[in-house]
């Protein structure tokens, strides 16, 4: 049997290590958001609705897991501090921290601290200080990458179709738009909050990165992807591209792998220019091939009350921004 995580939200605790500087005054009120069983974006939408304010007035540094208990900083522009603190929302708590002169934006964090209960096991995991920096499963959800690819390929009808596998409040707006404007799939997509739409494109870029990394580390590829792990420690410093329209790849071996991946996916760099929805265009970026697992503490094996005859164990560790704890667990338990 495989190791299990997130059998209940309390098994997966995430605390953001924020890089936001607090002031005694400013246009932005900063709160600690503690949530359970919400994605960050859905929680923020819920808060905006409860306060009757525009969603765009709320900022955050990064998306946190849904099936988990998470803590992170959010900023509200021109917020009513007293009204915000006393909001009574199920599984959402807000604590005032101070003010900021700037909103919290994507990337305004140093990393995250995790406390994870791993269940359904029989022995302790191996101790790892570094793992391949793969994007974790929660990045992709059910079909985020498929929606993203359809957007990149300009197949907006397919993007809407894949998006409507699950129907939430935003998806209901898409359906309502299509009832009035039957074939306006671009207009229908625009009914989705911009951050969520962007997430779909990012999910596809993430899947391409994972493909590139696996190919790069494939031991069958000889003399085509730089130094092997056992040959040279320099590999730990390598970055691989998150493909976008402005990607410029200097390493000819990496470029060869990237273009093989794109050929298999039937895409090109310029496909990431999305003229129908310009805000979704993506220039691309880079991501380190490896990430460090910091301050790792492995607890003692204990009886697992949720899985008869099995054990559970608590892991505590920190990752830099963009790192996925699920990938750490996967690597530690093989």
- Active-site annotation, residues: 65
Residue 103 contacts by C-beta under 8 Å, 6 or more apart in sequence? 28, 59, 75, 77
Contact 315, 297 (CB under 8 A): yes
- Residue 80: C-alpha distances to residues 53, 58, 77, 168, 171 (Å): 11, 13, 9, 28, 30
How far, in Å, CA of 151 to CA of 282, rounded? 12
Q: Which of 152, 168, 332, 151 is nearest to 160 (CA)?
A: 151
Q: Which of 269, 255, 272, 268 is nearest to 215 (CA)?
A: 255
* CA gyration radius, the chain: 21
Q: In whole angstroms, what separates CA 263 from the centre of its chain?
A: 26
């Amino acid at each position: 049997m495989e190791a299990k995580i997130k059998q209940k939200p309390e098994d997966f605790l995430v605390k953001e290590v924020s890089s936001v500087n607090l002031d005694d005054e400013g246009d932005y009120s900063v709160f600690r958001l503690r949530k359970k069983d919400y994605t960050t974006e859905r929680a923020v939408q819920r808060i905006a609705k409860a306060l009757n304010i525009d969603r765009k007035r709320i900022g955050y540094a990064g998306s946190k897991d849904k099936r988990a208990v998470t803590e992170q900083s959010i900023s509200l522009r021109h917020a009513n501090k007293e009204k915000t603190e006393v909001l009574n929302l199920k599984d959402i708590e807000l604590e005032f921290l101070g003010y900021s002169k700037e909103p919290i934006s994507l990337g305004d964090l140093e990393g995250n601290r995790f406390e994870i209960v791993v269940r359904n096991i029989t022995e302790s995991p191996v101790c790892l200080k570094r793992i391949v920096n793969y994007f974790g499963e929660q990045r992709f959800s059910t079909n985020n990458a498929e929606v993203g690819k359809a957007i990149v390929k300009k197949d907006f009808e397919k993007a809407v179709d894949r998006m409507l596998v699950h129907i939430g409040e935003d998806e209901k707006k898409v359906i309502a738009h299509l009832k009035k404007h039957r074939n306006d799939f671009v207009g229908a997509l625009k009914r989705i909050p911009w951050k969520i739409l962007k997430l779909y494109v990012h999910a596809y870029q993430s899947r391409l990165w994972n493909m590139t990394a696996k190919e790069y580390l494939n031991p069958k590829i000889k003399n085509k992807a730089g130094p092997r792990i056992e040959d040279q420690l320099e590999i730990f410093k390598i970055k691989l591209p998150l493909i976008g329209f402005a990607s410029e790849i200097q390493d000819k071996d990496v470029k060869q792998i990237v273009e093989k991946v794109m050929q298999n996916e039937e895409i090109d760099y310029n496909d990431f220019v999305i003229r129908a929805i310009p805000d979704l265009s993506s220039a691309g970026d880079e991501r380190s091939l490896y990430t460090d697992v910091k301050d790792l503490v492995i607890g003692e094996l204990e009886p697992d009350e949720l899985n008869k005859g099995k054990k559970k164990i608590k892991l505590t560790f920190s990752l830099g921004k963009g790192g996925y704890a699920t990938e750490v667990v996967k690597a530690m338990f093989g």
